[in-house]
Structure 1
Amino acid sequence: MVRSPGPRRTRGRAFGSKPLNSFVAAIDQGTTSTRVMVFDAALRVVAVAQREHRQICAQPGWVEHDPAEILRNVHELAAQALREAGIAASQLAAVGIANQRETAVLWERASGRTLGRAIVWQDCRTESLVRDIVARVGPQGWRERTGLPPANYFSACKLQWLLREHAGAAQAAARGELLFGTIDAWLAWNLTGGADGGQHVSDVTNASRTNLFDIRRLQWDAEICEALGVPPACLPRVVSTSQRIGRIREGALRGAELAALVGDQQGALIGQACFAPGQAKVTYGTGSFLLMHTGEQATPSASGLLGTVAYRLGEQAPCYALEGSIAVTGSLVRWLRDNLGLIGSAAEIEELARSVPDNGDVYFVPAFSGLFAPHWRPDARGVLVGLTHFAHRGHVARAALEATAFQVQEIVAAMQRDSGMKLREIKVDGGMSVNSLLMQFQADLLDTPVIRPVCGETTALGAACAAGLAVGLWRDTAELASHWQEQRRWEPSMPAPERERLLRRWQQAVQRSLDWSAPDR
């Protein structure tokens, strides 16, 4: 195994004295499942427990989760992971939480009862609210301050919708009787006591995904909150990514210290040891997410990317990232399995795609929820183009896989334009990173080496790293990077003319997906 070269040392030392206990637990609360993992001081996996939760689609374009179900899963999985590790909560140096980011929850301070279900980041119900914002402040909205354009994707419009949907909610929120948060805030509040003094907190990475947060001043933006009718009293206190928050008072983790909150993609950036400007990772999950570390200054994007906080470690200066988000990648494979019956399991898609030598000029643009970065076209819808009598299921499978790589390539190109940095390599993780056909095609399209680490659960790993740093289990990011190990790499081999031809055809396919879901339809 090849070790990654360590980045430059960061300023500052550990945030606490060296703890006696050397295990760290990470709660990785994702879009489709929750995972609890235990790591040792060498960042080796000691135990894993995982469970899926329901995806509730009550209406077209709606995607919801049950926050109570997610909380129950966290408690039960934590107990299972500790049993598998053979340790008690008292042996944990710290606990970190990584979470699906923009998913919004609104609940009662006094009882913990949620007002409806959580509205998931994929949900499209707020299109009319987004149009209203664009009409008032333009298509870029408050992007200079928040790093984000107006879009269904982010939490602000979801909170707006919840406050309008439930009678009296806005008034109750203004009185501080209702609490808002992304999933990290919901879990942290419940784990640290809930209605009995629970900590209502969110970290800078999750706050930066709401479109209510000034990413340079690191505080909620009062003007934006007022414009959207969001009472500041319902918003969580914003903390660093790596920071002692409080003792866990509920469930199997009772007594352990909660010391990190981080959005899942920023967690993966930490877990991939991308601690220096110009380093980047892509996570292939339900959607796919590419983040490039840009240093201690927020980099504005002229190419449809998002500016976001990468992380903040204790009292150190925050670090920033450019991000490109893709709504549908891994979920397209599940769609082929569940909706079309084209494959029996997700693992079968690579074999089916390898049954043909190329895509047969078939392209699949999976704009099921519109197109995210760099296009930001909510009117787009999925298209499968280039079909002839020659095409068969192998070509469709290959086109579906290649769609992920094409979308990632678009974001990398935009990222390099905005940052002025050329990626020398890119680190990959997530479920689809085990697909060798896709990874080789990705390296070919990017003309850049693609590298997969030994530990593929980088989101959970990042939460564990941030928690361990907060309590002094590791000295600094250089020590963390020394534990990162490469498992496999793919080198580009495609001739430039072929790459350029494929990219031109993909752009033609993208154009055919636009203007389908118009307001008058």
Structure 2
Amino acid sequence: EDIRVDSEHLGREIPIRASITDQSASMYGLSCVQKGDMKLTMGTGSFMDVNTSDKPHASLEGLYPLVGWQFSSHKSRPVYLVEGSSYGTGGLIEFCKSKGLFSTLEETSDLASSVPNSGGVVFAMGFSGLQDPAMQEPGSIMGFLHQSESTERAHLVRALLESVAFRVKQIYDTMLKETEFQFKTIRVDGGCSRNDFLCQLIADLTRVRVWRPSQTESSIVGVAKLISDCERSDRLDHPVEEQDEVEVDGTEFLPRLELYEQHMSMYTVWNMEMSVCWCSDTTQMRFEHESPASKSALLSHDGSWF
């Protein structure tokens, strides 16, 4: 029997055909319906998910299992996902935008590409804490490290975008370590995925093809597809989730293997600096290792620079 919205609320009874969470809907919208398919949503946070088919994944490194979807049809089986996340991606970009570093996210791609590297600048990200894998310091703070007199706005923007890609690299490496999958494509969506520099850097760091659909809001697409498939699931001779993957119009980013070592060198520096500092209140800072560059870093906390 159908579940329906009470007519008192909307004037008529409306059947509820599907109920699904954000990241699961995104997976379905990106056609990540085969075991081992991977997607990356970069919006309010960075969420990397992998289809583990009918077996939930138990993690020792901070990843967590999710229910993907299941159709009511007796032919269907539950599909599970494993997820790694980094909160605050959109928040830190909006924060830097509010401080006048750039006007729109779109312009940051050209700015970051206008310089060959970040000029040694590292952006330590810590909005909303740092989720596993890697660090979960509740008092972590954010800021630009290793600035000099030659630092330009383009270097800061590049360091900011690199930090987002480096967090994705951490999560990706954990996925490789914990699962048996060898990933061939990372499908991306979310507002930040519209940044070409970011997508290309992720492809370079992971050495995996990145594919971005022309419609980057995949969750709503997933809900629409799910409702459509629910309507016809009883008529199929095989489960919906075992159908062929479909890639509609989009943009492909292929890894530039010749740049891998260069990017990894900066990634190593960033990894080290991410353990430099965190604070227990608005004034106290603790350094796990100290260096002149760290001591002179420009840091932000609670929306202010100090």
TM-score range, shorter chain: 0.7 to 0.9
Aligned to 1:171: none
Runs of 4+ in 1 over 6 A off after TM superposition: 518-521
Aligned to 1:108: none
Aligned to 2:15: 257
Q: Report SS of the residue matched to 2:163.
A: helix
Query: CA–CA distance in 2 between the matches of 1:337 and 1:254?
Result: 44
Structure 1 residues 313, 347: CA separation in 2 closer, same or farther (over 3 Å shift)?
A: same
Structure 1 residues 425, 253: CA separation in 2 closer, same or farther (over 3 Å shift)?
A: farther
Structure 1 residues 395, 254: CA separation in 2 closer, same or farther (over 3 Å shift)?
A: farther
Q: Which amino acid aligns with 1:288?
A: S
Aligned to 1:357: 116
Q: Report SS of the residue matched to 1:266.
A: helix
* 1:220-235 paired onto structure 2 within 5 Å: none
Offset of residue 445 of structure 1: 0.8
Q: Report SS of the residue matched to 1:260.
A: coil
* 1:92-491 paired onto structure 2 within 5 Å: 244-247=2-5, 249=7, 254-314=12-72, 316-338=76-98, 340-374=99-133, 375-472=135-232, 475=236, 477=240, 484-491=247-254
Q: Report SS of the residue matched to 2:211.
A: strand
Tell me if the contact between 2:34 and 2:241 (Cα under 8 Å) persists in the aligned partners: no
Q: Which amino acid aligns with 1:334?
A: E
Offset of residue 287 of structure 1: 1.0
Offset of residue 478 of structure 1: 5.9
Deviation by residue 1:361-382 (Cα, 9 ceiling, x = unmatched): 1111220221012123323221
Query: CA–CA distance in 1 between the matches of 2:11 and 2:126?
Result: 40
Q: Report SS of the residue matched to 1:376.
A: coil
Tell me if the contact between 2:194 and 2:216 (Cα under 8 Å) persists in the aligned partners: no
Tell me if the contact between 2:183 and 2:208 (Cα under 8 Å) persists in the aligned partners: yes
Please report the TM-score for the alignment, with normalisation by the length of structure 1.
0.50
Q: Which runs of 5+ in 2 are unaligned?
A: 285-306
Tell me if the contact between 1:267 and 1:463 (Cα under 8 Å) persists in the aligned partners: yes
Question: Which one scores higher on RCO, CA 8 angstroms, separation ≥ 6?
Answer: 2
Q: Which amino acid aligns with 1:399?
A: A
Query: CA–CA distance in 2 between the matches of 1:298 and 1:482?
Result: 21
Offset of residue 502 of structure 1: 2.1
Q: Which runs of 5+ in 1 are unaligned?
A: 1-242
Q: Report SS of the residue matched to 2:117.
A: coil
Query: CA–CA distance in 1 between the matches of 2:193 and 2:267?
Result: 21
Query: CA–CA distance in 1 between the matches of 2:13 and 2:4?
Result: 9
Structure 1 residues 248, 435: CA separation in 2 closer, same or farther (over 3 Å shift)?
A: farther
Offset of residue 482 of structure 1: 5.9
Structure 1 residues 283, 449: CA separation in 2 closer, same or farther (over 3 Å shift)?
A: same
Please report the TM-score for the alignment, with normalisation by the length of structure 2.
0.82
Q: Which amino acid aligns with 2:53?
A: G
Q: Which amino acid aligns with 1:292?
A: V
Structure 1 residues 483, 440: CA separation in 2 closer, same or farther (over 3 Å shift)?
A: closer
Structure 1 residues 250, 282: CA separation in 2 closer, same or farther (over 3 Å shift)?
A: farther
Tell me if the contact between 1:271 and 1:460 (Cα under 8 Å) persists in the aligned partners: yes
Tell me if the contact between 1:288 and 1:327 (Cα under 8 Å) persists in the aligned partners: yes
Aligned to 1:516: 279
Query: CA–CA distance in 1 between the matches of 2:144 and 2:283?
Result: 24
- Percent of pairs identical after alignment? 29
Query: CA–CA distance in 2 between the matches of 1:377 and 1:492?
Result: 32
Q: Report SS of the residue matched to 1:278.
A: coil
Offset of residue 264 of structure 1: 0.7
Query: CA–CA distance in 2 between the matches of 1:256 and 1:414?
Result: 43
Tell me if the contact between 2:92 and 2:127 (Cα under 8 Å) persists in the aligned partners: no
Aligned length: 277
Deviation by residue 1:239-268 (Cα, 9 ceiling, x = unmatched): xxxx95324636669443211111111110
